[in-house]
Amino acid sequence: MYGFARTLTRDAELDERSRRFVSMIEQASEQMTQLLDELGTAARIEAARWEPGLRSVDTLELAACDDERVEARGAGETIETDADAVGHGLDSLALAAVRHGPAQRVVWDVRGRQLALSPVQPAAAPVVTGDEPRDLGSLVARMVIEELGGSLVLEGDTLLVSL
């Protein structure tokens, strides 16, 4: 479905209304693919069959997010990790803090392998830590980070992530 929607968007001459509907199908398909990827990762971790694709990456780069409500700053450090899974997980944690807080903006303060996300509002705290299963991305992020030997701890309104 995703490929078909993308083909229509690029190749077909659509009126504005049709283009909007095809765009909605494309976005929904992307979200469905992301959910399936997260479920697959969680299932492989639970079954002890997850094989992370390790590569060198800077922790500041991992914390960077395309969403304008999330800022990453500080000094990173090069580590060996599954950059795709961890980067997606950090995005999920930050966006959960924004959505469930609610917060207008959150910041990752990166200090080597230690990352601090703030502010995490009280309403978002149990979601971001994975204690309340209301956000699949946060749950999978915690699983990935812990499977790779890291940790997540909430201190006040700051989520401390160690990679």
pLDDT for res 21: 79
Cα–Cα dist 74/108, whole Å? 8
The whole model's pTM is what? 0.86
Q: What pLDDT is stored for residue 66 in this prediction? A: 94
Supply the pLDDT for residue 157.
97
Region of 140 (left: φ > 0; alpha: ψ -120 to 50; beta: rest) is: alpha
Q: Are 59 and 125 members of one domain?
A: yes
> Residue 47: what pLDDT?
97
Per 3-state DSSP, the chain is made up of helix, strand and coil in percentages (nearest 5) of 50, 25, 30
Based on the fold, state whether residues 106 and 35 are members of the same structural domain.
no
Q: List per-residue pLDDT tens for the chain, 163 residues long.
A: 667 666 666 766 778 887 787 778 888 888 888 888 999 999 999 999 999 999 999 999 999 999 999 999 999 999 999 999 999 999 999 999 999 998 999 999 999 999 999 999 999 999 999 999 899 999 999 999 999 999 999 999 999 999 9
Residue 78 and residue 27 in one domain: no
Give the count of domains, the chain.
Answer: 2
Is the same domain home to 9 and 81? no
Strands (E), the chain: 54-58, 70-75, 78-82, 106-111, 114-118, 151-155, 158-162
Residues 61 and 96 in one domain: yes
Which of 51, 70, 88 is the C-terminal boundary of a domain?
A: 51
Same domain as 87, residue 17: no
- The pLDDT value recorded for residue 56 is 98
Which pLDDT value is given to residue 5?
66
Q: Are residues 75 and 154 in the same domain?
A: yes
Range of the domain at 108: 53-163
Domain finish residue from 51, 77, 93: 51
Report pLDDT for 11.
62
CA–CA gap between residue 107 and residue 85 (Å, rounded):
20
Greatest alpha-carbon pair distance for the chain in Å reads 53
Assess whether 144 and 95 both reside in one domain: yes
Cα angle 119-76-163, degrees, rounded to a multiple of 5: 70
Rounded Cα distance between 70 and 72, Å, is 7
